A and B are shown apart, each in its own frame.
Chain A
């Protein structure tokens, strides 16, 4: 590893989001979450449905206010952004692609208006012609024909709609993109296209990306590091290869054991490892948190469990060397 500390684009500390406080329907969507994302990296967030991934994304994008905790983006606490021009600058640098494509695009606007709108708001184009040219270019980039510019969202298939959302996010040249299940509705070839595209754009424009998804094989491919969430908490954070080759938390093991493979024979023999959530509900939670077991490889556990996990890691790495 290089000795120079890498710059962090985003740092989250003790973030909490509780819905319906005090009511019987109280939900702890995000539970004392702390993590960071380095500048220029892609951080993958995977985990149980309902574990708080989208909520985390929305808090980072300042679309919701957190119950408590801090989010520092480019060194500034985003809760403290109050001036209009500061908020506008923040909105330009931080873009989000949403999970539900139809619900997140205005049904009464054409694709030209949807994608071009951001360009106008942020003063990125002066003339109508310029806007048109840019929208066409963006449509091309995401693999849609420019002829689609006059269409409305409901006139698209699910995957086409999702690509309009991606083009809208890319339009304002953001420095940080939150992609919430942005590719799960696309066919594998277009998924591969978009993932290759994001990788290429990331190199050219050097943006940082929070990539929320459930397809672990794609997440592994695109992410530098990955966080695994369950019940509002991060249970494991590690560089992608490390997480796949040497998973330490039983929940991560269970997730990896359930990834479906495009091979009927393998599927017929599949054995899933099930996971009991009580595993990470500690009765006495003093000394419970994310501990660094190997460089950049963190696991949610009790302090006393650290030596055991270090042994487990060592065993796994030795086993990998032996093969």
Chain B
């Protein structure tokens, strides 16, 4: 049995705003195992960044209220640590690559210095050695002319290059857990592939666990061992990458997979999930996805779905999985995927 390195339990987070309390994270549970990549996907605004920032203790204190839950890192609750102890965990043990590189880099410090400083903080090396390592890291994330690039300021870099600086800083610390929030959104596909390979190397070499937040389901298919799907501050489905892509159960997951354009089939308009996400000022009763769900049952509007197991590794929170629920026919794209899944299972049984 693999070891759990992180357990997030019943995490609940709210923000006080002018208009009222925003219930951003409404009871999130997930585990992270040693050396695995867990991808978190889901609606924009569903709480992916906020949940993971909580792990790093990086939420602003002012209007934030962590209402409940535990974040156990190697058995210790990170929510109970004081700032000094948290500082020690940050970077060396758990490192992050943020969604917005421009606001998380220091605009007044050269790129080379910023990478070197984070190396110094976590390793016993001289400044000269740190600079050398920094330049090497910059090359590893695909930046060319590293010698002169070391002396550039963030604004002199392109969007994707800044993102790569963030990645270099995070990787330089060789963390136990790497939280990557949309790390490759601004990168072209070839450099993206290079960075993903680099992260996978870190995973195999030093057994780093990765939480990978992204909207790019292609990247998820490439990187993830397991996938969790978020909607309106909750996890609605999680399972292995094959289970999620070939045998999805929650109608929101169906919608996501059906919205993807593929290079071949683009003739008809893109499928979109109708309606808009719920306003988390007034979280809905029942299944938050129900008003946009063509497959919604009456009970979905009244009672929140339980989490039903699909396999030992696969779970989904939808009433459709209840023994007495009517059988529905999912969208064509999902049926195509399920057929592939059935074939795979059959092949496995034959072997």
A145 touches B266 (CB 8 A): no
Contact of B100 among A103, A214, A254, A272 (CB under 8 A): A103
Contact of A214 among B188, B217, B256, B269 (CB under 8 A): B188
Q: Which residues of B have CB within 8 Å of A196?
A: 269-270, 272
B148 touches A24 (CB 8 A): yes
- The answer to the question of B325 belonging to the interface, with a C-beta cut-off of 8 Å to chain A, is no
Contact of A267 among B49, B189, B222 (CB under 8 A): B222
* A252 → B minimal CB distance (Å): 11
B270 touches A187 (CB 8 A): no
Contact of A155 among B17, B151, B188, B271 (CB under 8 A): B17
Q: Which residues of B have CB within 8 Å of A158?
A: 44, 49, 99-100, 182
Q: Which residues of B have CB within 8 Å of A255?
A: 188-190
- The answer to the question of A157 belonging to the interface, with a C-beta cut-off of 8 Å to chain B, is yes
Contact of B215 among A46, A147, A188, A254 (CB under 8 A): A188
B99 touches A185 (CB 8 A): yes
Q: Which residues of A have CB within 8 Å of B188?
A: 46-49, 51, 214, 255
Q: Which residues of A have CB within 8 Å of B22?
A: 155
Contact of A157 among B45, B256, B257, B273 (CB under 8 A): B45
Q: Which residues 129-156 of A sit at the B interface, judged by CB distance below 8 A?
A: 143-145, 147, 150-151, 155-156
- The answer to the question of A270 belonging to the interface, with a C-beta cut-off of 8 Å to chain B, is yes
- The answer to the question of A89 belonging to the interface, with a C-beta cut-off of 8 Å to chain B, is no
**A54-B159, A260-B221 known; A102 vs B102 contact (CB < 8 Å):** yes
Q: Which residues of A have CB within 8 Å of B270?
A: 192, 195-196, 221
Q: Which residues of A have CB within 8 Å of B259?
A: 188-189, 191-192
Q: Which residues of B have CB within 8 Å of A25?
A: 148, 151-152, 156
A262 touches B148 (CB 8 A): no
- The answer to the question of A264 belonging to the interface, with a C-beta cut-off of 8 Å to chain B, is yes
- The answer to the question of B261 belonging to the interface, with a C-beta cut-off of 8 Å to chain A, is yes
* A210 → B minimal CB distance (Å): 16
* A213 → B minimal CB distance (Å): 10
* Minimal Cβ-Cβ distance residue in B for A190: B44
- The answer to the question of B297 belonging to the interface, with a C-beta cut-off of 8 Å to chain A, is no
- The answer to the question of B38 belonging to the interface, with a C-beta cut-off of 8 Å to chain A, is no
Q: Which residues of A have CB within 8 Å of B276?
A: 143-145
- The answer to the question of B19 belonging to the interface, with a C-beta cut-off of 8 Å to chain A, is yes
A160 touches B222 (CB 8 A): no
Bound Cα distance from A102 to B159, whole angstroms? 13
Q: Which residues of B have CB within 8 Å of A48?
A: 188, 190-191
A272 touches B193 (CB 8 A): yes
B191 touches A151 (CB 8 A): no
A189 touches B193 (CB 8 A): no
Q: Which residues 77-105 of B sit at the A interface, judged by CB distance below 8 A?
A: 99-103
Q: Which residues 145-203 of B sit at the A interface, judged by CB distance below 8 A?
A: 148, 151-152, 156-161, 164, 182, 185-193
* B85 → A minimal CB distance (Å): 27
Bound Cα distance from A192 to B257, whole angstroms? 12
- The answer to the question of B42 belonging to the interface, with a C-beta cut-off of 8 Å to chain A, is yes
A185 touches B182 (CB 8 A): yes
* Minimal Cβ-Cβ distance residue in B for A188: B259
Q: Which residues of B have CB within 8 Å of A259?
A: 189, 218, 263
Q: Which residues 50-88 of A sit at the B interface, judged by CB distance below 8 A?
A: 50-51, 54-55
Bound Cα distance from A186 to B272, whole angstroms? 13
Bound Cα distance from A217 to B263, whole angstroms? 5
Bound Cα distance from A258 to B219, whole angstroms? 11
Contact of A260 among B49, B219, B279 (CB under 8 A): B219
**Which has the most chain B C-beta neighbours within 10 Å: A24, A158, A262, A272?**
A262
* A99 → B minimal CB distance (Å): 4
- The answer to the question of A100 belonging to the interface, with a C-beta cut-off of 8 Å to chain B, is yes
Can you list 13 A-B pairs, Cβ within 8 angstroms, ordered by A?
A47-B188, A49-B160, A49-B186, A51-B188, A103-B100, A158-B49, A185-B44, A188-B256, A220-B261, A261-B218, A262-B217, A264-B222, A275-B190
Q: A157-B50, A254-B190, A275-B190 given; name 15 further pairs at CB < 8 Å.
A: A101-B100, A143-B276, A188-B217, A189-B273, A190-B44, A191-B259, A192-B270, A193-B272, A258-B190, A260-B222, A261-B218, A261-B263, A262-B257, A264-B245, A274-B190
Q: Which B residues lie at the A interface, using CB under 8 A?
A: 15, 17-19, 22, 41-45, 49-50, 99-103, 142, 148, 151-152, 156-161, 164, 182, 185-193, 215-222, 241-242, 245-246, 255-257, 259-263, 266, 269-273, 276, 279, 281, 340
Query: Nearest 6 A-B pairs (CB), nearest first?
Result: A260-B218, A49-B160, A159-B44, A262-B217, A192-B270, A258-B189
